[in-house]
Amino acid sequence: MSIPVLTIDGPSGAGKGTVSRLLAKKLGWHYLDSGSIYRSLAIALLKQAVDLDNVTEIVNVAQAMVLEFECGDDFIVKLNGEDITAQLGLENIGSTASIIAALPEVRRVLLKKQQDFRQAPGLVADGRDMGTVVFPDAEYKVFLTASSSKRAGRRYKQLKEKGIDANLSGLTKEIEERDRRDSERTTAPLSMASSALFIDSSDMTIDTVIDEVLNKFLMDFISMQH
Ligand code: DC
């Protein structure tokens, strides 16, 4: 039997990260934050001052980067041995990641790195194309979204809590721009897999989203563990 995968795709700020991490913990499964792979590449490129029009050089950096993920109580990412966790969430890293993620050559190089996360007993994979391209045979697929104003509002709150200055209308614009780029690109655009469970989390709590996914798909796995 193949290793089970639960894919959670959707636009930025829909709550995929929190929901995926909690579900992985509940199920005792591994967790893939595919966005952090694109974000790590963005950090590597900015560090090495690579010209973002130079596709050959971008692909070389993508092939050479060594990533380590630690998913204990804290989620830690190391790029070539250096802890880059604190930089991952920066807005310019997210938008650079979205720009380079539109390159088919980059997606090709990063495909296997993502598929290698499929390890027993199971995987929760969070991203834009998890259910459509990276794990098309996944048994459980979710498309999680929310209105752009709610997503911007959540991001605003997160940044404020971290003491980072933010501007709500600027964040809304950035989110809409990123949605457009991630949905309109030709290779592996953000789109809902045909068999996915659609959840609009605009007026839902994280716990309600989690309950909906578990009730639909995964009660058997939870009861097997008890
Ligand atoms: O999920 P995130 O915000 O960390 O992702 C950052 C960017 O990376 C996102 O705007 C588009 C890109 N990305 C992608 O193209 N495919 C994925 N599976 C995950 C992220």
Per-residue model confidence as pLDDT tens digits over 64-106:
999 999 877 788 999 999 999 999 988 899 999 999 999 999 9
pLDDT-based confidence at residue 19 (cuts at 50, 70, 90): very high
- Nearest 5 degrees, angle CA 186-CA 150-CA 142? 55
Report the separation in Å between the CA atom of 38 and the middle of ligand 1, taken as the mean of its atom positions.
6
CA distance 152 to 160: 12
The pLDDT tens digits for 113-130 are 999 999 999 999 999 999
Q: Are 153 and 59 in contact (CB under 8 A)?
A: no
Whether 127 is in the pocket of ligand 1, judged by its Cβ within 6 Å, is yes
User: What integer pLDDT is reported at residue 102 of this predicted model?
Assistant: 95
Query: Is the shortest distance between the CB of 39 and ligand 1 below 6 Å?
Result: yes
Task: Give the residue whose CA is nearest to atom 11 of ligand 1.
Answer: 98
Return the CATH number at 18: 3.40.50.300
Contacts of 22 (CB under 8 A, 6+ apart): 206, 210
**Position 221 confidence tier, pLDDT thresholds 50, 70, 90:** confident
Q: What span, in angstroms and rounded, lies between the C-alpha atoms of 163 and 107? A: 34
Look at residue 166 in the predicted model and tell me its pLDDT: 87
Give residue-wise pLDDT tens across range 22-50: 999 999 999 999 999 999 999 999 999 99
Calculate the CA dihedral of residues 87, 92, 93, 94 and round it to 10 degrees: 120
Helical H segments across the chain, by residue range = 16-27, 34-47, 55-64, 85-88, 91-100, 104-115, 148-161, 168-184, 206-213, 219-224
Q: Which domain holds residue 78?
A: 5-224
The residue with greater pLDDT, 162 or 55, is 55
What's the burial of 212, exposed, middle or buried (CB within 10 Å: 0-12/13-18/19+)? middle
| CB of 144 shorter than 6 A to ligand 1 | no
Q: pLDDT band for position 226 (50/70/90)? A: low
Distance 84 CA to ligand 1 centre (A): 17
Confidence of residue 225 (pLDDT cuts 50, 70, 90): low
Q: Is the distance from the beta carbon of residue 126 to the nearest atom of ligand 1 less than 6 Å?
A: no
Q: How far is the CA of 207 from the centre of ligand 1 (A)?
A: 24
**How does residue 135 score in pLDDT terms, banded at 50, 70 and 90?**
very high
pLDDT bracket for residue 219 (50, 70, 90): confident
% of the chain surpassing 90 pLDDT: 84
Q: Give the pLDDT of residue 89.
A: 87
What pTM does this model have?
0.92
Ligand 1 touching residue 141 (CB < 6 A): no
Is 101 near ligand 1, meaning CB less than 6 Å away? yes
User: What's the confidence (pLDDT) of residue 74?
Assistant: 82
98 lines ligand 1 (CB under 6 A): yes
- The average confidence (pLDDT) of the chain is 93
User: Could you tell me the CA-to-CA distances from 122 to 22, 58, 126, 221, 224 in Å, in that order?
Assistant: 14, 31, 13, 10, 14
Number of domains in the chain: 1
pLDDT (tens digit, 9 = 90+) per residue, 142-197? 999 999 999 999 989 988 888 888 899 999 999 999 999 999 999 999 999 999 99
